[in-house]
C-alpha cells in the first residue's frame, strides 16, 4: 500500500482525535519502522490493518466506521494533492464511472507499484450507476467513503447502496449502486 495512504490516515487520526493517539496506535501496531512512513514509499497492507485495529480498540469505534470516515477524509485530500484527476469529472457519477479506466490508470503511471482495486461498470443511466468493486484488500467501505466524499465535494445529493447479496462474503467483491436524487 502506498505511503500516501498511511500518511493521510495518520493525519486524519491527529485531526479527528489527537497527536497522542497517533503515537499510541503506532506503538500498539508494533510497526518495524516505528511509523516513519514516507508518502512515496510502499508498505505492507497488514500495517494498515494493524493501525485500523489499534484505532478501533482505543476509540471503541468499529473498523468499518473508521474506514468509511477515512474514505470521506481521503477524497478531500486527493482533491488537494491531485486536483486534475477530480476536476476532469463534472460530477460524482462521471468520476466513479471513470475510476478504473482513467483515474486509477493515471495513478498507476505515477506509482507503478500501487495496489489498486478493480471497478467494473455494470450498467449506467442518467441517475443510476451500478459498479462492482473487486480487491483482495476488501476495502469496500473505503470505496463507499470515497464516493460519499465525492458527493460532498460536488455538493450533490445522492446515495450509495451496497447490495444485500455481497458477491463474496469476505468483501473482496461487492456491488454498489450510486443513485442521484
Ligand atoms: C470516488 C473515487 C475513488 C474511489 C471509489 C477509489 C477507490 C479506491 C480504493 C477502495 C482503494 C484501496 C485499494 C483497494 O481497495 O484495493 C484505492 C486506492 C488508491 N487510490 Fe483510489 N479511488 C477513488 C479515487 C481516487 C483518486 C481521485 C485518486 C487520485 C489520485 C486515487 C488514488 C488512489 C491511490 C494513490 C491509492 C493507493 C494505492 C496503493 O495503496 O498502492 N483514487 N482507491
Mean pLDDT, residues 112-117: 96
For 49-88, write each residue's pLDDT tens digit: 999 999 999 999 999 999 999 999 999 999 999 999 999 9
For 163-181, write each residue's pLDDT tens digit: 866 677 788 999 999 999 8
Predicted confidence at residue 17, as pLDDT, reads 98
Pocket (CB within 6 angstroms of ligand 1):
1-2, 4-5, 78, 82, 85-86, 95-96, 99, 103-104, 107, 114-117, 135, 137, 139, 142-143, 146-147, 150
| Average pLDDT of the chain, as a whole number | 95
Q: Is 43 helix (H, G, I), strand (E, B) or coil?
A: coil
Predicted confidence at residue 71, as pLDDT, reads 98
Instruction: Compute the distance from residue 116 Cα to the ligand 1 centre, in Å.
Output: 6
CA distance 12 to 156: 24
Secondary-structure class of domain 83-180 per CATH: alpha beta
Amino acid at each position: 500500500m502506498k505511503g500516501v495512504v498511511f500518511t493521510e490516515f495518520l493525519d486524519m487520526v491527529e485531526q479527528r482525535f489527537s497527536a497522542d493517539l497517533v503515537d499510541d496506535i503506532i506503538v500498539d501496531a508494533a510497526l518495524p519502522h516505528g511509523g516513519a512512513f514516507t508518502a512515496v514509499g510502499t508498505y505492507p497492507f497488514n500495517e494498515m490493518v494493524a493501525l485500523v485495529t489499534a484505532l478501533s480498540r482505543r476509540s471503541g469505534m468499529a473498523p468499518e466506521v473508521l474506514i468509511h470516515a477515512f474514505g470521506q477524509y481521503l477524497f478531500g485530500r486527493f482533491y488537494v494533492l491531485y486536483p486534475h484527476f477530480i476536476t476532469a469529472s463534472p460530477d460524482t457519477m462521471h468520476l466513479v464511472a471513470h475510476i478504473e479506466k482513467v483515474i486509477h490508470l493515471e495513478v498507476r503511471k505515477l506509482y507503478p507499484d500501487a495496489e489498486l482495486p478493480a471497478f467494473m461498470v455494470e450498467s449506467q443511466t442518467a441517475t443510476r450507476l451500478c459498479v462492482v468493486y473487486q480487491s483482495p484488500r476488501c476495502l469496500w467501505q473505503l470505496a463507499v467513503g470515497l464516493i460519499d466524499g465525492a458527493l460532498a465535494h460536488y455538493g450533490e445529493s445522492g446515495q450509495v447502496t451496497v447490495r444485500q447479496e455481497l458477491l463474496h462474503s469476505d468483501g473482496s467483491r461487492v456491488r454498489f449502486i450510486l443513485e442521484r436524487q
